[in-house]
Amino acid sequence: MSERFLEFHSGTTWIDIRLLQAISLSSCHKKSDVRIVLCYPVETQHIKQIQEAYPEANVVAAGQERIAEELPKADIFCGHAKVSVPWEETVKAKRLRWIQSSAAGLDHCLVPSVVESKIIVSSASGVLADQVAEHSLALATGCSRRIPLFIQQQQHKEFIRRPTRDLTGSTVLIVGLGGNGQRLAEVLHPLKTHILATDYFPDRPAPLVDQLGGPEDLHNLLPKADFIFLTAPLTNQTRNMIDSSALSVMKPGAILINVARGGLVVEQAVVDALESGHLDSAGFDVTPEEPPAADSPLWAAPHLIITPHVGGQSKKRIDRMTDLFCENIIRYREGRPIINLVDKKRGFPTPVV
Q: How confident is the model at residue 32 (pLDDT cuts 50, 70, 90)?
A: low
Cα–chain center distance at 82:
15
Q: Are strands 120-122 and 98-101 parallel, antiparallel or unpaired?
A: parallel
Q: Kindly list the structural domains of the chain, giving each domain's residue range(s) and its CATH number in brackets, ordered by start.
A: 3-127+314-349 (3.40.50.720), 129-306 (3.40.50.720)
- Report whether pLDDT(193) > 90: yes
How much is the pTM? 0.86
State the average pLDDT over residues 251-266. Answer: 98
Would strands 342-343 and 348-349 be described as parallel, antiparallel, or unpaired? antiparallel
Rounded to an integer, the average pLDDT of 186-207 is 95
Q: Is the pLDDT of residue 9 over 90?
A: no
The DSSP string of 235-289 is -TTTTT-BSHHHHHHSPTTEEEEE-S-GGGB-HHHHHHHHHHTSEEEEEESS-SS
**Upper half-sphere CA count for residue 148 (Cβ side, 13 Å):** 15
Q: Let me know: does 33 contact 57? Beta carbons within 8 Å.
A: no
Res 113: pLDDT: 96
Cβ atoms of 179 and 324 closer than 8 Å: no
DSSP-based three-state secondary structure for 41: coil
Q: Compute, in degrees rounded to 10, the torsion defined by CA atoms 42, 48, 54, 58.
A: 70
Query: Is the separation of the CB atoms in 104 and 126 below 8 Å?
Result: yes
**Residues 122 and 342: beta-carbon distance below 8 Å:** yes
Specify the 3-state DSSP secondary structure of 198. strand
Contact 289, 268 (CB under 8 A): no
| Lowest-confidence segment of 13-22, 101-110, 281-290, 298-307 by average pLDDT | 13-22
pLDDT in tens, 265-313: 999 999 999 999 999 999 999 999 999 999 999 999 999 999 999 999 9
pLDDT at 20 over 50: no
Please state the rounded mean pLDDT for residues 58-80: 96
Q: List the single range of 18-22, 190-194, 229-233 with lowest mean pLDDT.
A: 18-22
Q: Can you tell me the distance from the alpha carbon of 213 to that of 211, in angstroms, rounded to the nearest whole number?
A: 7
